[in-house]
């Protein structure tokens, strides 16, 4: 099979069957690209995971672009990335056509009122999981606490301060601490 | 201009979305609510729908917002915008800046960004739960009771069964509880 078509179909399959996004996908991508297709090695895969963590954007997209580029250059990256995105694009586009009407149905509205409460718990739990994985160093803990406090204040008082401002500030503080020679502590 | 807003808004999301799916939710909330694209409730419903359908949550939210604000072309534009930054950054890292990720200054920036994301995600979760339980400063007893039950199920199952309830299962349970209670 043409490598571009193969990349597209492989990632379209992964994109169709992974729920919840993020880390759940890494296992599937590893299975398809390392075990079955042998496009990349296990070491490459570990490498992608590190790069994906250090770059913005959905981890699944990062992985698709990486593997696609490795196998088929720029066009390979395009084919794999489109393959990854297309299934969920089609599904969500279909959902968007009828969700509003759907929500007018009484019992579905009730269901979503329950679901709303679960989403808060899921987000809190995601934060706790990230916290558990973080190496506990005083500098990092201080940034977690400071940004948590700042974000709570922004939410409660509906301040017009973007989360991007918070992130850029944290990045600068960390960089300044590193440059000031406390890199050992910051790192 | 809705198209320009969608493009700019979701480029920002794509460029600053560190920390995977849930790490990006506070940022997406920030962008979507500040443009007034969705109400807080609509956004929360869509997070649940995105969690329950395949594909990256960020991409799903971009497609939905684009579609509901400007049809198919809006959906295409928003989805493209959220994907492009990570697409080009990965290409850049692979083709040109092979050691960028190991660079000590890049690492120093990431040491600040990651804990900051964690703080933001924690605050967003806590705020959403508090807001549900006491909107407009008046305690909502039904919501408090349902939240408590979901909490007990979610964390109780980890101790009792040594198994995590998956996010999708929690959403299904909360939907069933919602139908009974509300």
Residue A119 lies in a domain: no
| The total number of structural domains that make up chain A | 2
Residues A38 and A91 in one domain: yes
A109 in a domain, yes or no? no
Tokens of A137: 């160093």
pLDDT at site A133:
83
For residue A173, CA distances in Å to A87, A119, A139, B101, B109 come to 40, 32, 10, 19, 8
Helix or strand holding residue A119 (H, E): helix A106-133
Give the single-character DSSP code of A179. I
pLDDT along chain B (182 residues), means of 10: 93 86 84 91 88 84 93 95 92 81 82 88 90 81 91 86 79 90 86
Tens digit of pLDDT for each residue in A2-38?
A: 999 999 999 998 888 776 556 667 777 888 888 888 9
Q: Is residue A118 part of a domain?
A: no
- In chain A, residues with a C-beta closer than 8 Å to the C-beta of B153 are none
* Alpha helices, H only, chain B: 2-16, 20-35, 40-52, 57-95, 104-133, 141-160, 167-181
pLDDT at position A22, please? 60
Chain B 20-59, residues with CB within 8 Å of chain A CB atoms = 20-27, 30, 34, 41, 44-59
Whether A86 and A16 share a structural domain: yes
Lowest mean pLDDT among A105-119, A173-187, B90-104: A173-187
Q: Which of B90, B113, B118 faces A171 most closely, judged by CB atoms?
A: B113
Closest Cβ opposite residue B127 in set A53, A139, A152: A152
Residues A96 and A138 in one domain: no
pLDDT beyond 50 at A186 = no
Average pLDDT over residues A151-165: 88
Tokens of A187: 């790192």
Residue B177 has what pLDDT?
A: 92
> pLDDT over 70 for what percent of chain A?
94
**Domain identity same for A96 and A154:** no
DSSP string over A18-74: -BS-THHHHHHHHIIIIIIS-SS-HHHHHHHHHHHHHSSS-HHHHHHHHHHHHHHHH
Q: Is A98 a residue whose pLDDT tops 90?
A: no
**Do A97 and A140 fall into the same domain?**
no
> Is there a single domain that holds both residue A67 and residue A154?
no
CB contact under 8 A, A116 and B45: yes
The highest-confidence range among A31-45, A111-125, A154-168, B1-15, by mean pLDDT, is B1-15
Domain assignment present for A67: yes
| Nearest chain A CA: its distance from B99 CA (Å) | 10
Please give the pLDDT value at position B63: 94
Whether A6 and A70 have beta carbons less than 8 Å apart is answered as no
From A1's Cα to the closest Cα of chain B, the distance in A is: 24
Residues A144 and A72 reside in one and the same domain = no
Considering the domain architecture, whether residues A14 and A81 belong to the same structural domain is answered as yes
Between positions 82 and 141 of A, the ones with CB within 8 A of B are 84-85, 87-89, 91-93, 95-97, 99-100, 103, 107, 109-128, 130-131, 134, 139-141
The mean pLDDT value of chain A amounts to 86
**Same domain membership, residue A89 and residue A165:** no
Torsion (CA) B89, B84, A18, B5 in degrees, nearest 10: 130
Sign for the pseudo-dihedral over CA of B2, B3, B8, B11? positive
What pLDDT shows up at residue B73?
Answer: 95
CA nearest A17 in B: which residue? B54
Partners of A87 on chain B (C-beta within 8 Å) are: 54-55
User: Of A124, A163, A112, whose CA–CA distance to B130 is shortest?
Assistant: A124
**pLDDT value of residue B80:** 95
Does A116 reside within a domain?
no
Domain that holds residue A146: 134-187
Question: pTM of the prediction?
Answer: 0.82
Per-domain residue ranges for chain B? 2-133, 138-182
A 9-38 → B contacts, CB under 8 A = 15-23, 25
Note the pLDDT of residue A24: 65
pLDDT given at position A183: 47
Judgement on whether residues A89 and A145 belong to the same structural domain of the protein: no
Residue A75 has pLDDT above 70, yes or no: yes
- Give CA–CA dist B88/B79, Å, rounded: 15
Q: Which pLDDT value is given to residue A21?
A: 57
Residues A20 and A90 grouped into a single domain: yes
| pLDDT reported for residue B84 | 94
Model confidence band, residue A182 (pLDDT cutoffs 50, 70, 90): low
Chain B residue with minimum CA distance to A49: B20
* pLDDT given for residue B105 in this prediction: 85
- Structural domain ending residue among the three candidates A56, A79, A101: A101
């Amino acid at each position: 099979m043409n490598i571009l078509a193969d990349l597209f179909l492989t990632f379209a399959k992964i994109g169709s069957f992974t729920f919840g996004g993020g880390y759940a996908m890494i296992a599937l991508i590893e299975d398809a690209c390392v075990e079955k297709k042998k496009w990349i090695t296990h070491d490459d895969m570990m490498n992608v995971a590190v790069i994906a963590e250090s770059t913005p954007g959905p981890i699944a997209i990062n992985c698709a672009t990486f593997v696609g580029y490795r196998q088929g250059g720029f066009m390979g990256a395009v084919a794999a990335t489109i393959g990854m995105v297309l299934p969920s694009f089609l599904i969500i586009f279909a959902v968007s056509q009828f969700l509003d009407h759907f929500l007018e149905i009484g019992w579905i509205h009730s269901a979503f009122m329950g679901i709303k409460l679960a989403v808060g718990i899921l987000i809190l739990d995601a934060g706790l999981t990230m916290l558990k994985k973080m190496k506990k160093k005083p500098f990092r803990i201080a940034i977690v606490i400071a940004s948590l406090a700042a974000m709570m204040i922004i939410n409660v008082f509906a301040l017009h301060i973007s989360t991007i401002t918070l992130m850029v500030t944290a990045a600068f503080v960390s960089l300044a601490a590193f440059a000031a020679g406390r890199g050992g502590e910051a790192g | 201009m809705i198209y320009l807003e969608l493009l700019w808004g979701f480029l920002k999301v794509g460029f600053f979305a560190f920390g995977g799916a849930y790490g990006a939710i506070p940022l997406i909330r920030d962008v979507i609510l500040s443009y007034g694209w969705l109400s807080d409730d609509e956004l929360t419903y869509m997070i649940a729908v995105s969690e329950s359908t395949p594909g990256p949550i960020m991409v799903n939210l971009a497609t939905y917002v684009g579609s509901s604000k400007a049809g198919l072309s809006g959906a295409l534009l928003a989805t493209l915008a959220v994907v492009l930054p990570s697409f080009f950054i990965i290409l850049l890292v692979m083709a040109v800046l092979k050691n960028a990720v190991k660079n000590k200054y890049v690492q120093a920036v990431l040491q600040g960004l990651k804990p900051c994301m964690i703080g933001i995600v924690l605050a967003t979760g806590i705020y959403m739960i508090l807001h549900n339980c006491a909107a407009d400063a008046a305690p909502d007893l039904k919501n408090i009771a349902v939240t408590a039950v979901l909490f007990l199920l979610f964390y109780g199952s980890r101790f009792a069964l040594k198994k995590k309830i998956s996010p999708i299962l929690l959403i299904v349970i909360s939907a069933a509880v919602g139908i009974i209670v509300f």
